[in-house]
Structure 1
Amino acid sequence: MEIEDNGFIFSDDKQKIDVSAVHQYLSTESYWAKDIPLDIVQRSIENSLCFGIYKDKQQVGFARWITDKATFAYLADVYVKSEYRGNGLSKKLMSLMLFHKNLQGLRRYMLGTLDAHGLYAQFGFKAIEHPDRLMAVVVPDPYKKKD
């Protein structure tokens, strides 16, 4: 899938992804993957359904779905570079991703967010109905260098 809109290209082609740019954003600008090593970003891209936003062949946005393509998908690592925010790119990306052929007919789509609840609510996401049924193992600061 590749769509052009107002000079931006939205694509699910992993060959277009600038892994260094994605790593730079995630490791230095995101709150959820601070200090993530490059090799882990590479492995996460290899094993996910990924989407990029490009302007003049430069990576300006990214998102990936961790999915079995049959029953479940978890949305992760969503970003649009700050200088491109406010142009509706996140909304366009979400609308394209949710209609992707490999994400149809699933029984659950999930994500975690600190501050974008309003964006995701527009696409049907809501608070977990029974949070007491969910469990997790959380490793604090997994990428922090050990002394």
Structure 2
Amino acid sequence: MSPFTRTHGEYEISDDPARLDLDVIERLLHATYWAWERPRAVMEKSIARALCVGAYLRGTQVGFARAVTDGVTFAWICDVVLDDAHRGTGLGRALVESIVNHPEIVDVRQVLATRDAHGLYEKFGYERYGNVFLARNFKLRPES
């Protein structure tokens, strides 16, 4: 896989694992409702086994997103986080777009869970299943 990089204004989004700053990712994830108790060792292991993208401003990481995937049939989009100081810049949307449309997973079934960002993901073709789960490129077979 060749490195994936795109820009959003002054920001850069990259899937280069060597650029990920685990201290920043830990701080961002510990501020969330879903990963506030996740141990650092678990974060490190999960990042090493996933497709990740980081968002950077002048080389400093300010955002992160992860996809747990086999790259063929399924991807779980998770841990999408952005430093509060960079909200309102469109970077969150660019970060989501970068992970869900990443060349490695753009055509696979994707699911995610969120309590508060349904509208953002629906802009990328996700459909709600209940109050928490969304899916893209995924259709349930009708009951017969």
Match among 86, 89, 99 for residue 87 of structure 1: 89
Name the residue aligned to 2:21. Answer: 18
Name the residue aligned to 1:31. Answer: 33
Structure 2 CA distance, aligned partners of 1:36 and 1:56?
Answer: 28
Name the residue aligned to 2:58. Answer: 56
Per-residue CA deviations over 1:62-119 (Å, capped at 9, x if unaligned) read 000000000000001001111100111121122222332211331x210001111110
User: Unpaired segments of 5 or more residues in structure 1?
Assistant: 132-147
Is 2:65–2:96's contact at 8 Å kept on the other side of the alignment? Answer: no
1:1-147 equivalences under 5 Å are 1-27=4-30, 29-106=31-108, 108-128=109-129
Letter in 2 for 1:42: E
Structure 2 CA distance, aligned partners of 1:85 and 1:21?
Answer: 16
Name the residue aligned to 2:135. Answer: none
Structure number having the greater helix percentage: 1
Structure 2 CA distance, aligned partners of 1:18 and 1:94?
Answer: 19
User: Unpaired segments of 5 or more residues in structure 2?
Assistant: 133-144
1:10 Cα offset (Å): 0.3
Structure number having the greater strand percentage: 2
1:3 Cα offset (Å): 1.8
Instruction: After superposing the two structures, state which structure 1 stretch, 86-95 or 60-69, moved more.
Output: 86-95
SS of the counterpart of 2:128?
A: coil
How many positions carry a matched residue from both structures? Answer: 128
Q: Percent identity?
A: 35
TM-score by length of 2: 0.83
Aligned Cα RMSD in Å?
Answer: 1.5
TM-score by length of 1: 0.82
